[in-house]
Amino acid sequence: MLSVKGLHAKVEQIDILKGLDIEIKPGEVHAIMGPNGSGKSTLGNVLAGRPGYEATSGTITYKGHDLLEMDTEERAREGLFLAFQYPVEIPGVSNMEFLKVSLDARRKHAGLPELSAVDFMKLARETSKRVDLPASFLKRGVNEGFSGGEKKRNELMQMMLLEPDLCILDETDSGLDIDALQLVADGVNSLRDGKRSFIVVTHYQRLLDYIVPDHVHVLAGGRIVKSGDKSLALELEAKGYAWLEEEVA
Amino acid sequence: MTEQVESLIKRDYAAGFHSSIESDTLPPGLDESVVRFISEKKGEPEWLLEWRLKAFRAWQEMEEPTWAHVHYPEIDFQSVSYFSSPKSMADKPKSLDEVDPELIATYEKLGIPLHEQEMLAGVAVDAVFDSVSVVTTFRAKLEEAGVIFCPISEAVHRCPELVKKYLGSVVPQKDNYYAALNSAVFSDGSFVYIPKGVRCPMELSTYFRINEMNTGQFERTLIIAEEGSHVSYLEGCTAPMRDENQLHAAVVELVALDNATIKYSTVQNWYPGNAEGKGGIYNFVTKRGICHTNAKISWTQVETGSAVTWKYPSCILKGDNSVGEFYSVALTNNFQQADTGTKMIHLGKNTKSTIIAKGISAGQSNSAYRGLVRFNPGADGARNFTQCDSLLIGDRCGAHTFPYIESRNPTAVVEHEATTSKVSDDQMFLCQQRGLDAEKAISMIVNGFCREVFKELPMEFAVEAGKLLEVSLEGSVG
């Protein structure tokens, strides 16, 4: 699914990633943990092709394509999805319209016809129910006046609707209460089908109680300094990151 | 083709009116003899000639206004030809194949039906096209309701007392430089009369779409809504018109008598000049309506064309409880300049006005909102709400706001909200991360920004206006 080798990347002239390697197979869930400023969010943004996040060396292969050669929107249409830490508002553009054009773009790329308005409405309503957002949210502007939790559920709704191949969750748990966390985790788990892969970027072990990862990586100083299974997350929870940083040093 | 439609429509009218299709063209220049020539060509009565001459004499004493936030080379009014005959069939393109492919591509993007494309592009078509019968049906329906809708030059003969009473009653000849010029040399335009208590049976837009004529650069429109009547009128078209004229100076007058409602929508997409800022229309327009007791006038405009726009559709709220509304989207790209807004003059008690203005600037363009809200001493309990939003795309364009508020009545209430925002990188990234390309993302964000105004447009035009923004924004993202 995704193979990252020796990735260096910089943001605003500052080197953030310094030789990162990661290998993700179809169906796997990888958790990326690490202290503040270690480059966790940068990784997600480089993968998604956010302007200003520049890969300076290394390779990224996604579904056999050279990811760094693809435009931001091409990556999305090819099934790479980033759930934002701070989803932005687009006033006046209804959620419904936004979902429809996004889905149309993805379907068109896959050679599928656009969904009819009726089929789409039905699908959108069902999906909003799955993330426990009232159908009235479909008519509101994208994230316009949504609470933090509603924005995150809206991200989840987009993810469910677009059925991506690789989902990157960028600190989706931040700012969520325990009920909302459970709901988001249930949503993610319902999308695990043995083929779809996930990168779950998080600060805390808590989310991983609900979304159980196959692999856990610790990112520090722009590189992966330790990898393990889910028990690594528990160890981090107990001991913090300092011991790892010392170990690396 | 235009003449064909014109003559087909006119055939049924009793008053013979064919003098406009003669082949004289005046050399450039403007003096009294030109005004007399135009009036004579149109077979106008003596009073109208005098009216024009009065305007012309006033114009000679006036100076071109320079207060607007627009810059353009000085216009030599003596180098303009003030009367030209319509193009002969022989000079017109024979089919769409002979028309600039770029123009056709735009029509297609806008979803304009083929026969309308031909008409808009000025193709000389011999065959009678489908919509002529539609026009006839429409006219029968309007006549049944007692509605008069005809060229103003024809109204001068059909209902001279109405024209005489109301022409210049809202925009006097001396109102401003361009209005005076228009009054002296106006070529033609529309006349609408809605009798007492009648609700016009159709959007005049529908009719207009099919019946649009090249009314020339000095267009004059007069709409009279009698007591308790209702009319919705849409001028212009979303498709760019083939027009070589540099200078446009139109005047629109609306009269809403007691309890009447006039809704006037404009979609203006004249040639804006090329991407380097060469060419394009200078559009200097005076639009004003007067509201009597309990009457309402609502202006909605979507302005995406012209190199220079100078336009302030206004309402004089004369009668008590009358209502004025102004909903505007003005989009400028490349080197376009727009200075547009409104004037709401509150004279009567409990008069109410609403202004929603959205300016979008892209490329190296400049867009200005200029609005006046005035409460006269008699305007007890009057209210105004103004919302004025600017959206910037890129970092080389400008947005400006010039609100003027004059209150001479202590009970009047005015609210003014203004915002300036940019299409943010984060918004663009969200859209692109969901699979939209940059142009689609921009047009969607801009459409969202304009939503409040688009919902005021007649439905079929709201959709087209959205597409028009998309076309007008092409190339605005690197």
List, in order of start, the domains of chain A with CATH numbers. 2-88+162-248 (3.40.50.300)
Helix axis angle, B131-144 relative to B2-10, nearest 10°? 40
CB neighbourhood size of A57 (10 A)? 12
Measure the CA–CA gap between B16 and A41, rounded to whole angstroms. 77
User: What letter would DSSP give residue B168?
Assistant: T
Nearest Cα residue to A219 out of A248, A188, A176: A248
Please state whether beta strands B323-332 and B190-194 pair in parallel, antiparallel, or not at all (unpaired). unpaired
CA distance A123 to chain B (A): 17
Question: Would you list the domain boundaries of chain B?
Answer: 131-472
CA distance A21 to chain B (A): 23
SS3 track for chain A = CEEEEEEEEEECCEEEEEEEEEEECCCCEEEEECCCCCCHHHHHHHHHCCCCEEEEEEEEEECCEEHHHCCHHHHHHCCEEEECCCCCCEEEEEHHHHHHHHHHHHHHHCCCCCCCHHHHHHHHHHHHHHCCCCHHHHCCEECCCCCHHHHHHHHHHHHHHHCCCEEEEECCCCCCCHHHHHHHHHHHHHHCCCCCEEEEECCCCHHHHHCCCCEEEEEECCEEEEEECHHHHHHHHHHCCHHHHHHHC
User: What letter would DSSP give residue B125?
Assistant: -
Instruction: Tokens for B174, please give them.
Output: 């001396």
For chain B, the farthest-separated pair of C-alpha atoms sits apart, in whole angstroms, at 68
Beta carbons of B435 and A88 less than 8 Å apart: no
Q: What is the pLDDT along chain B (478 residues), one digit of tens a residue?
A: 334 334 333 333 232 233 333 345 677 888 898 899 889 888 899 999 999 999 999 999 998 888 888 888 888 888 877 876 555 545 666 677 776 676 677 667 666 666 666 666 655 444 334 444 455 667 778 889 999 988 888 899 999 999 999 999 999 999 999 999 999 999 888 899 999 999 998 888 655 544 444 445 788 999 999 999 999 998 865 555 555 557 788 899 999 999 999 999 988 877 777 777 777 788 899 999 999 999 999 999 988 888 888 999 999 999 999 999 999 999 888 888 889 999 999 999 999 999 999 999 988 888 899 999 999 999 999 999 999 999 998 888 888 999 999 999 999 999 999 888 888 889 999 999 999 998 889 889 988 998 888 888 877 677 777 777 777 777 666 5
Which chain A residues are Cβ-neighbours of B358 within 8 angstroms?
none
Phi, then psi, of B71 in degrees rounded to 5: -130, 130
H-helix or E-strand containing B323? strand B323-332
Q: Does B425 touch chain A (CB under 8 A)?
A: yes
Which chain B residues are Cβ-neighbours of A52 within 8 angstroms?
425
Q: Does B478 touch chain A (CB under 8 A)?
A: no
Give me the residue from B425, B432, B452 closest to A76, CB to CB. Answer: B432
The residue among A73, A104, A159, A163 with the most chain B CBs within 10 A of its CB, best to mutate, is A73
Q: Which residues pair with B261 in a beta bridge?
A: B230, B296
Q: Model-level pTM?
A: 0.80
Which chain B residues are Cβ-neighbours of A48 within 8 angstroms?
433
* A186 burial level (CB within 10 Å; 0-12, 13-18, 19+): middle
Residue A41 near residue A24 (C-beta atoms within 8 A): no
CB neighbourhood size of B441 (10 A)? 24
Q: Does B432 touch chain A (CB under 8 A)?
A: yes
ipTM of the complex: 0.94
Measure the CA–CA gap between A244 and A18, rounded to whole angstroms. 17
